[in-house]
Structure 1
Amino acid sequence: MNAYLSVNARGRRILIDPVDRISQLPDNVLVMILKQMITEDAVRTSVLSKRWKSVWKQVPYLFFDMRYAFLRNMEPLPSHSNRVAKLITQVIKNHNGDLLSCIIQHYSHQCKDGELETWIQLLTLQKQTRALALSNIHCSYGGKGVNILRLSPNTFSHPRLTTLFLHRYELKTANAFKTCHNLKILKLENMFAEVNVFNTVIASCPSLKVLVLRLMWYNARACLKIHNNNLKLLHVASYYVHSIEVSAPLLDIFSMDYIFDGEYNIVIKSSRLFFTKNYGAIDAERVPILNYNISYNAREMENLGHHFLVGRDANYFWRLKSLAVAVDIMNTKELEMFKQVLVAWNGIMKRLDIFFKHNYVYTEEGESSIRGTQKKKWEKNLFPNAVFRVEAVWMFNFSGLDKKQFELASRFITQGTVMKKMMIKTSSVSATEKFYIEAAVTKLMELPKGNEELSIGYF
C-alpha cells in the first residue's frame, strides 16, 4: 500500500518502495555491508541519517590511501598531505571498539612531522589493532633521511598487535621493536638499514612464525642473522647479499630471491627442509625458489605459514619461479594444501621438485590410516581444470607401484600442466625399485600428452 509507480529512463513503469528497508537492518548486517567499502566511503554514510551516523565506527577494518584523497585546486603536496593526515587522525579517534586491521599508505611528510607515530599509538594502544600495515608512498633513498622511521622505543610491543607490515622506510635503530614478543607475522619490504639493525629487529621478535624480508643495506659484506625457535615461514630477498645465517628448527617454508654480489654464503639449519643444497642454482641459473615441507605444516592446527603463503594480501609469489615440495599425497589435508599452493602461484612455474613422503599405512583400496582415523585419500577430480603451468617437473622418491603417485603424474601429463619435461629419479634405489619405476615411466610415456613437446624420462 505504501508503494507507488514511477517511470524509469526507458519509459517503463516500475514499482518504488519508499520505505528505507536497509536502514532497518541490525547493526551487524550494516557493518558487513560497510566492510566491503573503502574507509572514506564508509565514513560518508554517516551523513545519510541519524541511523547511519555511527555505524561506520564499528567496522573492524580501516584502509587509508592518501594518493586518492581529494586534492584542492593548486594545493601543494605538503599542505595536501598534512590536511589529509589530520583527517585520518580524526577518523581513527572517532572509531569505536577494537580493530582487526588497519592499512595506511601515506607520504614521506608523515615520517618527519610525528603524525605517523600518532597513528601507531592510537591504533595500538587505544584501538588495540591486531594487524597493522604502513606504507610510505614516496621512496627516496640516498642518505637524505626523508624516509627514516622515527619512533619511540617499544612502539610495536603492544600485546594485541600480532601482524606488522612495513614498506619503504629507513631504520636507524631497532628501538621501536624492543621486546616485541607479541609479533607473530613481520613483513619488512623495501627497507633500508645497517645489517646489525636488521639483526636486532629480528632478535627482538622471538615469537615470530612468519618473517618476510626484502632488504637493502649499506654494508653488503656483513652477515644477516636469523635465529628463531618458532619460525615456520621465512622469505629473504636481499640486494647484494654476502652472507645469511639461518637457524630455525621449526622452519618448513623457506624461499629466497637474491641479487648476488659475486660469492655468497648461505647457511640454513633446519631439519625439516628438503632440497637445501645449492639454493638458487637450478640448471646453472640462479632463480627465486620456494622450499616447502607440507607434511610438517599440515600437522598443526593453526597452519599460519600456509595461510600466509596462499593468502592474497601477502603477495608471496610475486617473483618466485621454482617450488621444491615434500608431500604425502595419500593425506587429504596435505594434498589439498599442495593444490592450493599450485593454484595460488603467480604465472608459469619454471621448475617443480616433488619429494613423495610415505607416512601412511595401507588399509583398504583408496584409504589410509593416520593416527587411527580412516579417511578417503584420493579424489578423481583433483585437478579437473588445471590453470597453473610448470616448465619442468622432477619427482623424487617416486614409487613405481604407487597408483596414487602414478595418477598424479599422469594428470600432469594429460592435462598439459607440464610444458617441457618430466623427470623421475631412479638413481640411488635398489634394482627391484628401479625396475618398477622404469616400468611406470614407460606407461607414462604412452599417455596422450597435453603438450606435444613434453619429454618424459628418468635420472
Structure 2
Amino acid sequence: MTCFPLSILKTFHIHRPSKSKNTVEDRISELPDDVLVMILNKLVTEDVIKTSVLSKRWKNVWKKVPYLVFDLQNSIVTNMETLTDHSHRVANEITKVINNHNGHLEGCTIKHEYHQCHNGVLETWIRLLTLQKRTRNLSLSNLHVHGRGYNQLYLPPKIFSHPYLASLSLCLYELKTAYAFNRCHNLLILKLEKISIEVDVLNTIIASCPSLKVLVLHVMWDNGRACLKIRNNNLKLLHLACSNVDGIEVYAPLLDIFSIDYRFDGICDFVINTPRILFTTKYESINKGRLQTMTYNISHKAREIENLGDMFLVGRDANFFQQHKYLAVAVDVMNWKEVEMLRNVLVAWNGTMLGLFILFKDKNVYKEEGESSIGGTQEKNWEENLFPNADFRVEAVWMYHFRASSKKQFALASRFIMQGTVTKKMMFMTHSVPEKVKLDTEAAVAKLNKLPKGNENLNIGCS
C-alpha cells in the first residue's frame, strides 16, 4: 500500500453520469461492508479516502480499512502557505483521519517532518494509534536528517508498551533514553533503522523487550566504544548493522537467522552463543574490512504454528538481507517445507550472490517429532515446484555433509547446474570425512559433470 497526499481531505468533485437506460447498474455498492473493505484494502490510501464522496453508501466504508499510510513528503503546499503553516495543517489532517477511522488498525505508517518530534504531535499520533485504534504494526519515519538535536525522539515512558502493539519500526531518529520502551513485553518485532544512539541506551531497550522474535538494528553510536549486549530467549531473527564497538555479545538459544553487516577495525570482540546457528563464522580471525553475511538454519517443525523469523525474511520489510554478499544455510531436503523456505529466500534475493554455503542436515539427527518424510504430495512438490524459472544467481556454491546416496541432495545440485543458477564453481566439501564418503562424493561429482550446464564454464569439483 502506498501513501496518500493529504490534500485529498478537501472536497472532491466527481463527475457522475446521469441515469439512462444504458447506465451500468452499480452492483458493487450492494456488497456487504466486509467485502468492500477487502476491495479497498487493495487500493492506495488516497483512492480509499476518495470513495467516501461517491454516495451515502460509501461515506463510512473507508473508515474500516485495516491499514493507513501517511507521507508528508507527498502533501501539497497551497498558495501563500509557509512551510511551518503547511506542516501544522497537514499534521491536523492526519490527526483528523486517525480519529475518524472506526475500529482497530492492523497497521499504520507515518512519514513526517522533524517538527512533529518536538511539538507533541508525534506523541499524540502514537497514543491515538495504540490506545484507541489498537494498532498492531506501527512504522514511524523522520523524512529528513537535520543537525544534532533536531531528530531527537521525545517520548514519555512506556508509550510503546501497549499490549496490542506487536511490531514497531523507527527510522532516522536520535534516541537519548530508553524510557519509551519501559516494560515493553508486547513487542515481537522491533526495527531500528538509521538510529543514532548510545550503546548503553540500546542495551537497555533490548533488555526491556524480552518477547522479541525479530530484531533489526541499523545503528550509529552517539558515544565512544562500548559492548553491545543482546540477550533474548525468544529471538528467531537478528540483523545487526553497525561498526566501532568494543564488543558484541549475543545470547539467543532459539535464533535461526543471524545477519550481520559490520565494518571491522580490528578491535571488536565477539561472543556469539547461538546453538541453533549451525554455521559459525570465525569473527576473531577477521582483522579489518567489511563482513556482509547471513547464516540461516531453515527450521520447520510441524508443531510450530508460526515461523515469524522466516516470514519476516521474505516479506517486504526485510530488504536488508538483499545487500549481503554471502548466505550460509542449513536445510533438511527430506522436508519439503524447508526446501520451499530455501527457495523463497533465494528467489527474493536481489542481484548476484557471491557465495552460497549449503549444509545438509542429517534427518536422523535433526528430524523433529511430527515431521513427515518425502512422500505423496511432498514428492510431487519436489518434482514440480523446485526453483521453477529461478532468476537468482550465485557465483560460487559450497556444499557440506553431502550424501551421494541422497536422491534429493543430488537433485538439488542438478537443478543448480542445469538452470544456470551457479555461474563459476560448485564445490563439495570432503575434508574431514570418511574415505568411503569421499569416494562416493567424487563419483557423484563425476555424474554431475556430465549434466548439461547452464553455464559452460562452471567448475564442479571436490575440496
TM-score norm. by structure 2 comes to 0.90
Aligned to 2:145: 139
Long gaps (5+) in structure 1: 1-13, 362-367
Whether the 8 Å contact between 1:272 and 1:296 is mirrored in structure 2 is no
1:322 is displaced (CA, Å) by: 1.1
1:380 to 376, 383, 407: 383
What residue identity is the alignment partner of 1:183?
A: L
Aligned to 1:451: 455
Give the SS at the match of 2:266: strand
* 1:90 maps to 2:90: no
Whether the 8 Å contact between 1:252 and 1:297 is mirrored in structure 2 is no
1:372/1:78 CA distance change after superposition, 3 Å: closer
Aligned to 2:17: none
* 1:429 maps to 2:439: no
* 1:345 maps to 2:368: no
Aligned to 1:58: 64
Whether the 8 Å contact between 1:100 and 1:129 is mirrored in structure 2 is yes
Aligned to 1:75: 81
Aligned counterparts, 1:50-449, within 5 A: 50-141=56-147, 144-279=148-283, 286-295=290-299, 300-360=304-364, 371=370, 373=372, 375-376=374-375, 377-378=378-379, 379-381=382-384, 382-449=386-453
1:426/1:326 CA distance change after superposition, 3 Å: same
1:148/1:154 CA distance change after superposition, 3 Å: same
Whether the 8 Å contact between 2:263 and 2:290 is mirrored in structure 1 is no
1:53 is displaced (CA, Å) by: 1.2
Aligned to 1:9: none
Query: Counterparts of 1:286 and 1:296 in 2: how far apart (Å)?
Result: 31
Which moves more between the two structures, 272-281 or 221-230?
Answer: 272-281
* 1:39 maps to 2:45: yes
1:280 is displaced (CA, Å) by: 10
Aligned to 1:23: 29
Whether the 8 Å contact between 1:241 and 1:261 is mirrored in structure 2 is no
Deviation readout 1:139-177 (Å, 9 max, x if unpaired): 225xx3111110010000000000000001100100000
What residue identity is the alignment partner of 1:156?
A: F
What residue identity is the alignment partner of 1:231?
A: L
1:215/1:299 CA distance change after superposition, 3 Å: farther
Give the SS at the match of 1:349: strand
Whether the 8 Å contact between 1:181 and 1:204 is mirrored in structure 2 is yes
Aligned to 1:3: none
Whether the 8 Å contact between 1:237 and 1:258 is mirrored in structure 2 is yes
1:285 is displaced (CA, Å) by: 6.7
Query: Counterparts of 1:372 and 1:45 in 2: how far apart (Å)?
Result: 48
Query: Counterparts of 1:226 and 1:301 in 2: how far apart (Å)?
Result: 25
The number of equivalent residue pairs is 438
Whether the 8 Å contact between 1:211 and 1:233 is mirrored in structure 2 is yes
Please, what is the CA RMSD of the aligned residues?
Answer: 2.3
Long gaps (5+) in structure 2: 1-19
Query: Counterparts of 2:328 and 2:21 in 1: how far apart (Å)?
Result: 60
Whether the 8 Å contact between 2:424 and 2:457 is mirrored in structure 1 is yes
Which moves more between the two structures, 177-186 or 286-295?
Answer: 286-295
What residue identity is the alignment partner of 2:38?
A: M
Between Structure 1 and Structure 2, the one with more strand by share is 1
Deviation readout 1:299-352 (Å, 9 max, x if unpaired): 621100000000123324231121100000011111111111111111111110
Which moves more between the two structures, 173-182 or 67-76?
Answer: 67-76
Whether the 8 Å contact between 2:259 and 2:321 is mirrored in structure 1 is no
Query: Counterparts of 1:286 and 1:298 in 2: how far apart (Å)?
Result: 38
Whether the 8 Å contact between 2:301 and 2:370 is mirrored in structure 1 is no
1:384 is displaced (CA, Å) by: 2.9
Query: Counterparts of 1:324 and 1:241 in 2: how far apart (Å)?
Result: 25
Give the SS at the match of 1:225: strand
Query: Counterparts of 2:224 and 2:418 in 1: how far apart (Å)?
Result: 47
1:260 is displaced (CA, Å) by: 2.4
What residue identity is the alignment partner of 1:246?
A: V
Whether the 8 Å contact between 2:334 and 2:373 is mirrored in structure 1 is no
Query: Counterparts of 2:307 and 2:371 in 1: how far apart (Å)?
Result: 22
1:220/1:385 CA distance change after superposition, 3 Å: farther
Which moves more between the two structures, 335-344 or 74-83?
Answer: 74-83
1:129 is displaced (CA, Å) by: 0.4
1:318/1:407 CA distance change after superposition, 3 Å: closer
TM-score norm. by structure 1 comes to 0.91
Query: Counterparts of 1:355 and 1:299 in 2: how far apart (Å)?
Result: 23
Deviation readout 1:403-429 (Å, 9 max, x if unpaired): 211111111111100011111011111
Whether the 8 Å contact between 1:415 and 1:449 is mirrored in structure 2 is yes
